[in-house]
Amino acid sequence: MTMNAQTASAQPERPAIASTGKGAALPDRVRVVIVGGGFAGIEAARALQRSPARVTVIDCRNYSLFQPLLYQVATAALSPADVAVPIRSLLRGANTEVVLDEVVGVELDSARVRTRAGRAIGFDFLVLASGSQYNYFGHDEWISFAPGPKTLEDAVTIRRRLLLAFEEAEISGGDEERRALMTFVIVGGGPTGVEMAGAVAELARATLVRDFRHIDPALAHILLIEAGPRLLGAFPEKLGLYARRALTRLGVEVLLDTEVEHIDATGVLAGGRRIAARSVIWGAGVEATPAAPWLGVRPDRHGEVDVNPDFSIVGHPNVFVVGDAARALGSDGKPLPGLAAVAKQEGRYVGRLLRCRIAGKGVMPLFRYHDYGMMATIGRSAAVADLRGFRFTGRLAWLLWGAVHIYFLIGFRNRLVVLVNWLWIWLVYARGARLITDYEPSRPVPQPRPASPPPRRTRPSRRAQSAAARRDRNGQRTL
């Protein structure tokens, strides 16, 4: 890592001494730095509360996000505050502090992490829970044209584009432009793509259908493009077939075995077919955030870092990688999936492992992932669920999906608000978060004004000329 002389001479920054609330400061303790405030990072920090360690959690955002419901923010079913909770409200232990900053590098030799703000934070143990980002497979130029619901900013951007598409179609003067505005393309046939396609279809055909006067939102053309032979490839084939039928009933056109070749501001080229669309949403796969370059190790093809059974990296037993950034193997020898349940269990395990090591207790048993299954919802009252071999579809699966997501939401307030919103949407098809933010109407091109003729000069009458001459003679000349 290159650095200037001033940075190179900087000493690792020790976390500030946390107050006990009684005027006394905690003594200097073992330093645990956790990078990331997502599922894995929060669980690791919670497991270390009231431990002999001094815990520092670093994240570039001040909130923890429930990503499985981001697609509902993107489709105006929920508000951003319904799926996010401030990190500080979750970690109130006297031995824990939260730093709002972004980690840009890790120095293993000197045991410190460097942040974008220029901090050098030392550690005795490091937990990297930096999460993942969408993988555009070498086409990063598509990001601006096809955002994916991975962050709150992404979800709000998608919501704005979806709602603006209908607003602009309402005032559009040409049929071709109106069709492009009312065409929505979702790329990726996994759970995110399936859930997004179903939500967009319901938004157009149920929620907005009575809101416009010059267009019929129910005529919106929604396409789901998948490069593989079927939807929900990680699910049993029967559930994938059900998902396709459910989407077809909602009016979604499903294109299988179709690779996306190009995306720009005017649409998508997929399978040799040009699709004019002003709204494209990406959900075709993820890759780990740059934990591997920070550690100087070779990542796998998804950017993940190979870890030992205790989630430490080779050669550094005090550095751990958990969550989407880790390539951990299950009891069957296969990599664990990138699910919220996996990240939570990994983070909790590493937190407890560090607690035992710091306290000098016995050896922790090896990590074992408890698989609770997979779920995906397809619009209103339809879902698929694969729970430890028990497979459900339809309304029962939808109710199970809702109960599980309510249970895993962080905070009683969020659980209650989301439950009420879902009941309201189910009863009246209304979505209360249909807000277009950060929008500035384009100004019309100013038209040049026609040139005004010069004022016409009139000649004074003879009587006026005679009066002016008399005033001049009498010394009463006027200006």
Catalytic residues: 195
Q: What is the dihedral of CA 382, 383, 384, 388, to 10 degrees?
A: -120
In contact, 230 and 244? CB cutoff 8 Å: yes
At residue 108, the 3 state secondary structure works out as: coil
Q: Is 236 exposed, middle or buried (0-12, 13-18, 19+ CB in 10 A)?
A: middle
Q: Among 81, 68, 67, 123, which Cα is nearest to 99's?
A: 123
CA distance to 199, 316, 381, per residue, from 321 (Å): 34, 11, 38
For residues 114 and 265, is the Cβ–Cβ distance under 8 A?
no
177 vs 420: CA distance, rounded Å? 38
Question: What six digits make up the tokens of 211?
Answer: 């809101």
- Residues 195, 371, 366: CA angle, nearest 5 degrees: 140
Rounded to whole angstroms, the Cα distance separating 43 from 65 reads 13
Q: Are 238 and 391 in contact (CB under 8 A)?
A: yes
Distance, CA of 254 to CA of 240 (rounded, Å): 12
Question: Token digits for 462?
Answer: 């003879």
Instruction: Give 106's strand partners.
Output: 113
Which whole-number Å values give the CA distances from 48 to 93, 94, 345, 428, in the listed order? 9, 11, 14, 45
SS3 389: coil
* Cα–Cα distance for residue pair 35/32, rounded to 1 Å: 10
CB atoms within 10 A of CB 80: 17
- Helix, strand, coil percent values for the chain (each to nearest 5): 35, 20, 45
Tokens standing for residue 301: 């093809």
